[in-house]
């Protein structure tokens, strides 16, 4: 084995180790945050008459932690930026920054959304962790397809809860913003397709988004499926069928890209 091959093998092993460390950080941080969410939800919505004083104190603590979490996240972000600029390890500051962001957002969800906000966060945290695993383990195009599916599921959930009531405007606004986002992603994918998976940046090296063998037809198809699901959900048709279509599409893509990795 020549010198270049050895260096390439060592670089690949180093990159795989770094990715594994990031995955472990995501799983560990997500697990801890999810446990804290379940614990908070237990005492936030389900308490007895003798626990009213504790519930009031918990509400005050949540407000303080929500603000303090933002400050800690800002400090963690600065630490991460400084470590990266100096070429040092960024896993610890990055993990702390994202964890404190999660804690702060969860507390704000409890503060302004009460039990519904906490329930939504208890679903959001595992989904974000799974998306992080997909990002590190699978090709970028499957990560984008998974994000499209999450966008569709969230839209269906919002429409199932808010249509016909005072939150109808929020549902329609979400569908409109999601449609604009899907269009922007389609344009970005088109630019990457014309440049073998990279996007040109002014004054900087091209940013590689996808591999040279990326299947762009699946990206466009995923965007179309997501848009159709959101439009049908906004009309108010069967939401269970829309959940099924979205999950089935995601599972098919998971199988396809898993086989592709073998």
User: Between residues 232 and 7, which one has the greater pLDDT?
Assistant: 232
Alpha-carbon gap, residue 193 to 196, rounded angstroms: 5
**Shared domain check, 142 and 125:** no
Contact between 129 and 22 under an 8 Å Cβ cutoff? The reply is no
Shared domain for 128 and 1, answered yes or no, is yes
Same domain, 156 and 262: yes
pLDDT for the residue 8: 66
Give the closest residue to 65 by CA, choosing from 49, 44, 92: 44
Q: pLDDT tens, 211-224?
A: 888 889 999 999 99
Which residues are bridge partners to 199 per DSSP?
207
Whether residue 238 sits in one domain with residue 144: yes
Query: How far is the C-alpha of 22 from the C-alpha of 233, rounded, in Å?
Result: 36
Average pLDDT over residues 37-45: 84
Better-predicted residue by pLDDT, 146 or 51: 146
| Last residue of one domain, picked from the residues 132, 164, 192 | 132
What is the Cα–Cα distance from 89 to 251, expressed in whole angstroms? 35
Among 172, 141, 156, 173, which Cα is nearest to 246's? 156
* 154: CB partners within 8 A, 6+ apart: 174
Statement: residue 162 has pLDDT above 90: no
Prediction pTM value: 0.84
DSSP element (H, E) containing 161: helix 140-162
Do 55 and 145 have their domain in common?
Answer: no
Sequence-separated contacts (24+) of 201-210 with Cβ below 8 Å: 209/140, 210/139, 210/140, 210/141
pLDDT computed for residue 144 by the predictor: 93
CA 168/CA 62 separation, integer angstroms? 29
83 and 7 in a single domain? The answer is yes
What would the pLDDT profile of 61-120 be if each residue is shown by its tens digit? 999 999 999 999 999 999 999 988 887 878 888 889 999 999 999 999 988 887 788 888
203 confidence band (pLDDT: 50, 70, 90): low
**Residues 234, 231: Cα–Cα separation, whole Å:** 5
CA–CA distance, 20 with 39 (Å, rounded to integer): 29
Measured distance CA(44)–CA(62) in Å, rounded = 10
Residues 40 and 128 in one domain: yes
Is the domain of 173 the same as that of 46?
A: no
- 122 lies in the same domain as 148: no
What is the rounded distance in angstroms from the CA atom of residue 193 to the CA atom of residue 216? 7
pLDDT band at 3 (very low <50, low <70, confident <90, very high): low
Q: Are residues 2 and 127 in the same domain?
A: yes
- What was the pLDDT predicted at 214? 84
Give the least confident one: 22-36, 201-215, 216-230: 201-215
Residues in the chain: 262
pLDDT at 120 (0 to 100): 85
Which stretch of 80-84, 179-183, 208-212 has the lowest confidence by average pLDDT?
208-212
Would you state the pLDDT for residue 2?
Answer: 61
Q: Residue 71's pLDDT is what?
A: 94
Domain housing 121: 1-132
Q: Which of 187, 130, 127 is nearest to 157 (CA)?
A: 127
Among 111, 132, 153, the domain boundary falls at 132
Least confident residue range of 38-47, 104-113, 202-211: 202-211
Q: Which of the listed residues 97, 132, 167 is the one where a domain comes to its end?
A: 132
In the prediction, which pLDDT does 245 show? 93
> Is the CB of residue 197 less than 8 Å from the CB of residue 214?
yes
Two tokens at 179? 């449609």
* CA distances, 204 to each of 129, 133, 210, 211 (Å): 31, 28, 18, 19
Q: In terms of pLDDT, which residue wins out, 123 or 202? A: 123
> Within this chain, do residues 190 and 110 fall inside the same structural domain, yes or no?
no
The more confident residue out of 8 and 89 is 89
How far apart, in Å, are the Cα atoms of 212 and each of 169, 199, 209, 222? 42, 12, 10, 19
Can you tell me the mean pLDDT for 217-245? 90
Residues 113, 57 share a domain: yes
Of 59-68, 87-96, 124-133, 142-151, the poorest mean pLDDT is in 87-96
The residue-averaged pLDDT of 2-20 equals 71
Average pLDDT score over the chain: 87
Q: Which two tokens stand for residue 239?
A: 């939401």
């Amino acid at each position: 084995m020549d010198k270049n091959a050895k260096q390439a093998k060592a670089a690949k092993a180093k990159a795989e180790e770094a990715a594994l460390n990031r995955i472990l950080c995501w799983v560990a941080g997500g697990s801890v945050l999810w446990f804290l969410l379940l614990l908070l939800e237990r005492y936030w919505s389900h308490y007895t008459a003798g626990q009213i004083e504790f519930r009031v104190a918990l509400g005050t603590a949540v407000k303080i932690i929500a603000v303090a979490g933002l400050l800690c996240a800002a400090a963690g972000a600065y630490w991460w930026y400084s470590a990266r600029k100096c070429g040092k390890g960024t896993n610890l500051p990055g993990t702390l920054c994202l964890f404190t962001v999660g804690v702060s957002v969860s507390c704000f969800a409890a503060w302004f959304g009460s039990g519904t906000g906490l329930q939504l966060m208890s679903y959001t945290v595992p989904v974000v962790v799974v998306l992080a695993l997909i990002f590190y383990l699978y090709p970028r195009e499957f990560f984008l397809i998974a994000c499209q599916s999450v966008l569709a599921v969230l839209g269906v959930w919002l429409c199932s809860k808010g249509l016909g009531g005072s939150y109808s405007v929020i549902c329609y606004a979400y569908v409109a913003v999601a449609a604009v986002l899907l269009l922007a992603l389609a344009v970005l994918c088109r630019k990457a397709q014309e440049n073998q998976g990279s996007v040109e940046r002014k004054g900087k090296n091209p940013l590689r988004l996808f591999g040279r063998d990326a299947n762009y037809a699946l990206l466009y198809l995923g965007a179309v499926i997501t848009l159709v699901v959101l439009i049908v959900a906004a009309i108010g048709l069967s939401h269970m069928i829309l959940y099924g279509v979205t999950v089935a599409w995601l599972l098919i893509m998971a199988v396809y890209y898993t086989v592709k990795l073998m």
